[in-house]
Amino acid sequence: MLLMTYKTYINNKAFSGAESIGLRITTLGETFGKIGSGIFIGGLNIFTVFFGLYAVKNVNIPIFLCFRRCAIICTIIVEFVISFTLPGIPKGLCAIIMVAGALVAGWETLDSGSFGYFLVFCNNFS
């Protein structure tokens, strides 16, 4: 913070030697200009925490971990919705193996808690 203040108010050309080796010290204006997006992303992260907390209350820990390992499917779905692209063969095969491994690992503890499953997948999507 002290370096940013120095660069902003005292010498805007300061630290040019550090910039030549790839170390960039931003000014206070640049930093505070990006704070809004950081607060927005942090606020969205609260949804993940709440979904995770309530999901653990409704399903047992092995099932929660089993379906958290299935997050790759949610990532592929979101990627398709945003950019309309399907994964390639290697990525799809990797996702299938990961989901199959997670389901085999949690097969003995699968129960019929559909609301808990819904919360875990909300956690995955968030």
* Structural domain includes residue 114: yes
Place of tokens 């940013």: 4
22 CB contacts (<8 Å, ≥6 apart)? Answer: none
* pLDDT of res. 112: 65
Work out how many domains the chain is built from and give that number. 1
Q: Are 19 and 27 in contact (CB under 8 A)?
A: no
* Structural domain includes residue 12: no
* pLDDT of res. 21: 87
Task: Note down pLDDT in tens along the chain; length 126 residues.
Answer: 788 788 778 777 777 788 788 888 887 888 887 888 889 988 889 999 999 999 999 888 888 888 888 888 888 999 999 999 988 899 889 999 998 988 888 888 777 678 888 998 899 998
* Structural domain includes residue 103: yes
* Structural domain includes residue 50: no
Paired tokens of 49: 């925490």
Q: Are 51 and 119 in contact (CB under 8 A)?
A: yes
* Structural domain includes residue 94: yes
* pLDDT of res. 46: 93
Range of the domain at 119: 59-125
